[in-house]
Structure 1
């Protein structure tokens, strides 16, 4: 066999290897097993598995990042690198074994688990591998989280099953996560007001109870009064219930809700409000009375811009607005008391008047202006 014929046969083999890789999915991914052939350089020829960072180690040539590249592009780049060691190198790259595609399936399927699937498996095929959907599954809101991302995309697989033209049945990749949600039957809304973390209206589901609605509202605040909670139906009067028992899911107090119900949780008796130039404005519990300095400490103290000569205590029980010069109080070691229901306002220093809105039972709502 002449040298020219040998060269022709080897080049033909390289072409077939490369074309074989191009014929299918020729983009290399982490976990793939690849074969590198460098004509005339046996020490550079061999197989390697692409690591999690997308690299392979090639003798003599070193570490090469191959993931995300086609076999053709990788062969061209490796030939350029090999020129340092081989005169006019010919390089072929072939994917000899694709990495296993692992998909996690959870939610309302018969057999939630991680599955090894074939390349180009569709969402519907993978759900089939998981035994199909369970009762009450909602295929119109299937959640798909692609590998390397944290933001789910919603796929309406029911539309695809129904044959709608705009529907999709996406192909899954290695590391993707599928979650089939439960079908939710919304009966209306309920309202949760008062001392909860998220006041508002919430979807009512079948069998939903008081503790469920409060949970959707983020739970109760530290100022919630367990003895002053009420449940009002859409057309009825408020009925008090034991909040502690309801949250413990005692069925005598944890009632099943109906559309339009309103849960109201009152503030614990004995609180005061503090607003303005303090570090933590808000409402705080108080039993009988406390020194103004202690009230300020509860609110994290006053800020650097506080105008401490012009504090006000709004005493709703007596419809009073009491001016306080905190500098004098501190200098003379006097004690100014804050009472339950009081509102303490700490204005900020500045050239312009400071305007505060005082909210609460203070006789009349409105604006207070300090100069």
Structure 2
């Protein structure tokens, strides 16, 4: 006799059955977290702008005191570097603004361009965030420090009637150039470059 456990699993049928079970549970007023899309994702931490690491697309202002020709605005390129005058290519991706300032000072001294340089680096414009999925106007939007998931949704025209409003999926760039996917809540602070997807309800 064929056992049930020996039968092949139909993935599409399994998903359909799960959704049908969710509908039945919701109809009786029982809401299970497992019935919500992406509910099992790990919660991402809120952004910590005090320890911000630069990434591709960030626009930075480098100020070299008493050296106007070495003061300028740069954009972190696709290869993660900036081209600094007299010094050449310097890696910026993954560094804090303070760390990059220290590296520029080191390069200026090691090339005998300046004996005691004083450099500061400020983020002039952060790379944008993307808001996708169940919002009225999906797209890219400017990032501002302290921005939350709800702030991003507001910029994107608000939730659609199909949206899950309590949480969202987020793909976040890491300092090493990789990406991590997780879940964010309404008051979670975003990071530059985040790709936020507002999910669709099953019901």
TM-score by length of 1: 0.35
Which has the higher relative contact order, 1 or 2, with Cα contacts under 8 A spaced 6 or more apart?
2
Indicate if the aligned counterparts of 1:105 and 1:178 stay in contact, CA closer than 8 A: yes
Which residue pairs with 2:160 in the alignment? Answer: 134
From 102, 124, 132, the counterpart of 1:97: 124
The 5 Å alignment of 1:215-254 reads: none
Which residue pairs with 2:62 in the alignment? Answer: 35
Distance 1:151 1:102 in 2: 15
- Bigger Cα Rg: 1
Q: How large is the RMSD of aligned CA atoms in angstroms?
A: 3.1
Q: Is 2:161 aligned against 1:170?
A: no
Distance 1:27 1:57 in 2: 18
Which residue pairs with 1:49 in the alignment? Answer: 75
Which residue pairs with 2:44 in the alignment? Answer: none
Call closer, same or farther: CA 1:110–1:76 in 2, change over 3 Å: closer
Call closer, same or farther: CA 1:27–1:80 in 2, change over 3 Å: same
Distance 1:119 1:104 in 2: 16
The alignment partner of 1:146 has SS state of: strand
Distance 2:97 2:199 in 1: 40
From 179, 182, 200, the counterpart of 1:153: 182
Distance 2:100 2:183 in 1: 35
Which structure shows the bigger proportion of residues in strand conformation? 1
Q: Is 2:102 aligned against 1:76?
A: yes
Task: State the 4+ residue runs in structure 1 displaced beyond 4 angstroms.
Answer: 23-27, 148-151
Aligned-pair CA distance for 1:176? 2.1
The alignment partner of 1:139 has SS state of: coil
Distance 1:91 1:183 in 2: 54
Indicate if the aligned counterparts of 1:34 and 1:48 stay in contact, CA closer than 8 A: yes
Q: How many residues align?
A: 150
Which residue pairs with 2:151 in the alignment? Answer: 125
The alignment partner of 1:75 has SS state of: helix
The alignment partner of 2:142 has SS state of: strand
Indicate if the aligned counterparts of 1:105 and 1:127 stay in contact, CA closer than 8 A: no
Call closer, same or farther: CA 1:95–1:25 in 2, change over 3 Å: farther
Aligned-pair CA distance for 1:125? 1.1
The alignment partner of 2:100 has SS state of: helix
* Structure 1 segments unaligned to the other structure (5+ residues): 1-22, 161-168, 186-371
Indicate if the aligned counterparts of 1:28 and 1:95 stay in contact, CA closer than 8 A: no
